[in-house]
């Protein structure tokens, strides 16, 4: 997991497309330190049987062909939710409002990177645990992918509220804080 003191990851340079511009790299280092201070990471996961999953996600899951295909040979389904908190995105907006486009943009991308890093870590732990028990897993799949409707976010937010109380939805089912991700991951027979 990324800690408050984590050094600037090599992958982040590529993710941000900083190129070789010296000043851009210096500024990004400063923003990384700021992002880590503002990071309010939280995550949650829960394991359901396939029947429980379709029950809890009624009617969104059974109406989705892509979900049915993903879970065709699954015995269980992990639910995942992570957030980087709202501090980074709020600071990013402040920068943009002040007309500081680089800082606003780069900090926003760092927020996305941190949220993605978290869910990758959770995903990795689940995969390793499953492998230890002799099971394979599916890839991660999130609401909004293909025909898995965004409305399914309602269920995630509801279930994850104990671990991530600040997770909310807009009227159009977008996650707030924006730097949050939800997903499912099947455990195969």
Partner 1 sequence: MGTLHGLVFPINALPGCQLVKEGIDRISFDADVKSEAVIRYYERVDADLLFYFSDIVIQAEAMGAKIKFAPDAMPCVSETAQEIISPSPSRVGRMEVNARVLRRLAGVFPHKLRSTLVYGPFTVAGQVAGEQNVLRATIDNPDELEGLLEKTLECAIDYGRYLLDAGADVLWVSDPLSALLPPELFPRFAGDYLARLFAIYPGPTALHICGDTSAMIEGMIETGARGISFDQCMNLLAVEDRVPENIIIIGNLDPVEVVEMMNTEQVAAQTADLVSMMGIKPNFALSTGCALPPSTPMDNVMSFVEEGRSRLALLAPHAEDLAALAATVHKGDRDGAATLVKRVLNRRIPARSIIGSGLMRAVRKASARYEYRLCFLPEVLLIVDAFYQGYKCLETKIDAGREGTPQIVLGTVKGDFHEIGKDLVRIMLEANGMRVLDLGVNVDGARFTEAVRLFGVSVVGLSAFTTAARRQLSGIIDQFRQEGLSHVSILVGGAAVSEKVARDVGANGYGRDAVEAVKMIENILKRSRASNDDRKHPEAFSSVKS
For residues 100 and 149, the answer to whether their CB atoms sit within 8 Å is no
Nearer to partner 1, 175 or 184 (CB): 175
Nearest approach, Cβ of 124 to partner 1 (angstroms)? 26
Instruction: Return the number of the residue (103 or 185) whose C-beta is nearest partner 1.
Output: 103
Task: Kindly tell me which of 48 and 150 has the beta carbon lying closer to partner 1.
Answer: 150
139: CB partners within 8 A, 6+ apart: 70, 185
Q: DSSP 3-state assignment of 182?
A: strand
CB of 135 to partner 1, least distance (A): 32
Pattern 139-178, partner 1, x by CB under 8 A: -----x-----x-------------------xxxxx---x
Check residue 33 for interaction with partner 1 (CB under 8 A): no
Q: Which residues contact 154 (CB under 8 A, 6 or more apart)?
A: 169, 173
8 Å CB contact between 80 and 122: yes
Q: Which is nearer to partner 1, 19 or 132 (CB)?
A: 19
DSSP, collapsed to helix, strand or coil, labels residue 82 as: strand
Which tokens in the block code for residue 153? 């976010």
| 111 vs 186 by CB, closer to partner 1 | 111
Nearer to partner 1, 4 or 14 (CB): 14
How open is the CA angle 153-154-155, to the nearest 5 degrees? 90
- Where does residue 151 rank: exposed (0-12), middle (13-18), buried (19+ CB within 10 A)? middle
Mask for 94-123, x = binds partner 1 (CB under 8 A): --x--xxxxxxxx-x---------------
Question: Which residue matches tokens 């511009």?
Answer: 21
* Residue ranges binding partner 1 (CB under 8 A): 16-19, 21-24, 27-28, 92-93, 96, 99-106, 108, 144, 150, 170-174, 178
């Amino acid at each position: 997991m990324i800690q408050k003191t984590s050094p600037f990851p090599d992958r982040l340079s590529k993710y941000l497309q900083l190129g070789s511009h010296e000043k851009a790299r210096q500024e990004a280092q400063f923003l990384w330190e700021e992002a880590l201070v503002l990071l309010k990471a939280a995550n949650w996961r829960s394991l359901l049987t396939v029947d429980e999953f379709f029950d809890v996600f009624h009617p969104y899951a059974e109406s989705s062909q892509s979900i049915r295909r993903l879970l065709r040979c699954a015995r269980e389904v992990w639910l995942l939710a992570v957030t980087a908190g709202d501090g980074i995105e709020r600071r990013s907006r402040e920068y943009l409002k002040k007309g500081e486009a680089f800082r606003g943009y780069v900090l926003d991308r760092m927020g996305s990177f941190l949220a993605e890093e978290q869910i990758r870590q959770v995903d990795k732990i689940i995969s390793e645990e499953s492998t230890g028990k002799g099971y394979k897993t599916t890839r991660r799949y999130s609401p909004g992918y293909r025909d898995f409707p965004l409305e399914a976010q309602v269920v995630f937010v509801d279930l994850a509220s104990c671990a991530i109380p600040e997770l909310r939805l807009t009227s159009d089912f977008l996650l707030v804080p924006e730097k949050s991700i939800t997903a499912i991951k099947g455990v195969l027979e």
